[in-house]
Chain A
Amino acid sequence: GNSVTQMEGPVTLSEEAFLTINCTYTATGYPSLFWYVQYPGEGLQLLLKATKADDKGSNKGFEATYRKETTSFHLEKGSVQVSDSAVYFCALGGQGAQKLVFGQGTRLTINP
C-alpha cells in the first residue's frame, strides 16, 4: 500500500538557517503530494502541493519538488524564521478524492 517516510525529528535550527526536511514515498499510480503544517495550538494547514512529476510547489518561502525518479518530495526553505516553528507533515493522496497518507511529522524549532 501507499506509505510516506519523513525525516526523524525534532529539528532545531537558528534563524536564517537553510532548512531541508526529507520525505520519500511509496505509491502505485500517480499520486499527488502535499506538505501540511501544524503551528502550536492550531489545526493542520495546507502549505504546498504538487500533482505530477517535476512539479514544484511553493508557498511562504517553502518549496518542494515532486521527484518521481527518487520518489521524494523534500521540503526546503532558504532562510527560516522563528515563526516557522511548527510540526510539518508530508502527505500522499491517491488518484481521485481519496484519503491522505501522512508521514509521522517533523517538529521544527527555530531559535532567534
Chain B
Amino acid sequence: GAGVSQSPSNKVTEKGKDVELRCDPISGHTALYWYRQSLGQGLEFLIYFQGNSAPDKSGLPSDRFSAERTGGSVSTLTIQRTQQEDSAVYLCASSNGQGAYEQYFGPGTRLTVT
C-alpha cells in the first residue's frame, strides 16, 4: 500500500516569505507527526495530531510555525516569515495508534531559506 507522502520534495524560499508543506499519511492512520531534521539539532519533534484530540504543539520552535490537519487525514505545516535557521528537512510520520505505535516516515521536504 501507499506510504506517507510529502510535497514538495524540495523548496527554496527567500527569507521573510511564508511556506506550506504538505503531508499525506498512510490511509487509516489516526496519528500524524511532524519532525525537523537539521545538522545542528538532529531530529526534533514539532507537533502531533491524534484523531479529534487537541494537537500536541509542544515542539513548535516559535509562533511562526503552525500546522493543521483537515478531515483527520492530510496535514499542512506552515512557516511564516521564514528565517535562515528554518532551513532543514521536514519529516512527516503517521501511526495507527495501536500496539507499539511505531511511526512510518515520509521522504521529507528539504527547505532552504536564502
Which residues of A pack against B, CB within 8 Å?
Answer: 32, 34, 36, 42-46, 49, 51, 89, 93, 96-105
CB contacts (< 8 Å) of B56 on chain A: these are 98-99
Contacting residue for B105 out of A44, A96, A104, A105, CB 8 A: A44
Shortest beta-carbon distance from A33 to chain B in Å: 9
Q: Is the CB of B43 within 8 A of A99?
A: no
B47 nearest in chain A by CB position: A99
- Known: A104-B42, A105-B42, A105-B43. Contact between A49 and B100, CB under 8 A? yes
A89 nearest in chain B by CB position: B43
CB contacts (< 8 Å) of B65 on chain A: these are none
Complex CA–CA separation, A78 to B14 (angstroms): 48
CB contacts (< 8 Å) of B103 on chain A: these are 46, 93, 100
18 contacts between A and B (CB under 8 A): A32-B100, A32-B102, A34-B102, A36-B105, A43-B106, A46-B102, A51-B100, A93-B103, A97-B50, A97-B97, A97-B101, A98-B56, A100-B33, A100-B43, A100-B45, A100-B103, A102-B42, A103-B42
Shortest beta-carbon distance from B22 to chain A in Å: 15
Which residues of B pack against A, CB within 8 Å?
Answer: 30-31, 33, 35, 42-43, 45, 48, 50, 56, 59, 91, 93, 95, 97, 99-108
Q: Is the CB of B100 within 8 A of A93?
A: yes
Q: Is the CB of A43 within 8 A of B43?
A: no
Complex CA–CA separation, A111 to B15 (angstroms): 41
Complex CA–CA separation, A51 to B48 (angstroms): 21
CB contacts (< 8 Å) of B104 on chain A: these are 46
Shortest beta-carbon distance from B98 to chain A in Å: 8
Complex CA–CA separation, A25 to B48 (angstroms): 22
The interface centre, meaning the residue of A36, A43, A101, A105 with most chain B CB atoms within 10 A of its CB, is: A43
Complex CA–CA separation, A42 to B108 (angstroms): 9
Complex CA–CA separation, A75 to B92 (angstroms): 25
Contacting residue for A43 out of B42, B45, B99, B105, CB 8 A: B105
Q: Is the CB of B43 within 8 A of A98?
A: no
